[in-house]
Amino acid sequence: VRRREFIAGLGGAAASWPLAVQAQQPALPIIGWLNLGSSEIGVHDALYQGLNEQGYFEGRNVEILHQRAAMQFDRLPGLAAYLVRRQVSVIVAAGGGTPTALAAKSATTTIPIVFAIGTDPVDVGLVARLNRPGGNVTGVTFLAQSLIAKRLELLHEVLQAAKSIAFLVDPINYHPDAEIRAAQNAADALAVRLVILEASTPGEIEAAFTRLKEQRIDALATDSSAVFSFQGAQLATLAARHAVPAIYPIRSTVEAGGLMSYGGNSTDAFRLVGTYAGRILKGEKPAELPVQQTTRIEMAVNLKTAKALGLEVPTSILLRADEVIE
């Protein structure tokens, strides 16, 4: 991907060198990228793609200053403050969801912030309205949180015999209350018992699985906390070990061995973040850029995992699945 960009950059440079000369100011504009993880993951390429679509290429006409919290949420405010001190042109809060975006928002009211989250940005207080955000913050939401009911329905459809479903939430880094309420409503509609399990660290996740097993809970769903997004592999492994059918918000967990996922397409979301960052660099105001929602909702099913769990995935599910891993 980098090589392609590089070549594309060369082409662009050759075609528009007078512009490039004009843009070659002593300091290139800097995008500060605040990320909860310790490295980029596959979907992050989409962000570069979005920047490229807007004519920005890292190292040529824009610099990207990475600040990674290595899964330590308490480091986010400090990293955000650092980006503010560096007076970056735009802060991209992408990777780490809502806590990353909130940390950035608390650090500055002037530097534009573009987020990528799975929650409702109005509910968590990032923007006043989706249509006209009004402040220095805008971004993309990829419909993770609001889909919990649908997820429980789908999970129940796969495992119709399930009497109880564990809802693993992260109370420290995430505010799962709304999601818990939605999950509870859905569980009531499905007539299953919802057991709330809390975990905010890998160790706690492991402990939660122990409790889940102790309490003989039939299935598992997680909230949209970034912890669970980043710990997809651990979740998949633990679920397999404990033979628990589970549904997750993002597809990457299914690719790591999770049973199924249902949620907005995060690749689309990161690409849109990239285009918004580019447009802000060109001078557009975040207050006037509406919060976008990814419209593509995708369902992934890992038949290998299902088979290992001894599950037969019903046709209605397979009909709906956008991706089936066999």
Residue numbers of the site for another protein (CB under 8 A)? 129-132, 143, 146-147, 149-150, 152-153, 186, 189-190, 288-293, 295-297, 315-316, 319-322
Phi, psi of 160 (to 5 degrees): -70, -20
Q: CB of 154: closest distance to another protein in angstroms? A: 9
**Residue written as token pair 């402040």:** 135
Q: CB of 249: closest distance to another protein in angstroms? A: 13
Q: CB of 2: closest distance to another protein in angstroms? A: 25
Task: State the Cα angle at 290 between 76 and 177, rounded to 5°.
Answer: 50
Residue with Cβ nearer another protein (163 or 296): 296
Q: CB of 127: closest distance to another protein in angstroms? A: 11
Residue with Cβ nearer another protein (177 or 288): 288
Residue with Cβ nearer another protein (106 or 316): 316
Structure tokens, 68: 């990674």
Residue with Cβ nearer another protein (107 or 144): 144
Amino acid at 32: G
Residue with Cβ nearer another protein (41 or 287): 287
Alpha-carbon distance of 92 to 51, in angstroms, equals 12
Alpha-carbon distance of 179 to 98, in angstroms, equals 14
Q: CB of 299: closest distance to another protein in angstroms? A: 8
Q: CB of 5: closest distance to another protein in angstroms? A: 21
DSSP string, 46-91: HHHHHHHHTT--BTTTBEEEEEE-TT-GGGHHHHHHHHHHTT-SEE
DSSP string, 136-176: SEEEEE-S-GGGHHHHHHHHHHHSTT--EEEEEE-TTTS--
Residue with Cβ nearer another protein (107 or 143): 143
Alpha-carbon distance of 24 to 22, in angstroms, equals 5
Residue with Cβ nearer another protein (159 or 199): 159
CB neighbour class for 239 (10 Å; exposed up to 12, middle 13-18, buried from 19): buried
For 2-48, where are the E strands, in sequence order? 30-35
Q: CB of 254: closest distance to another protein in angstroms? A: 16
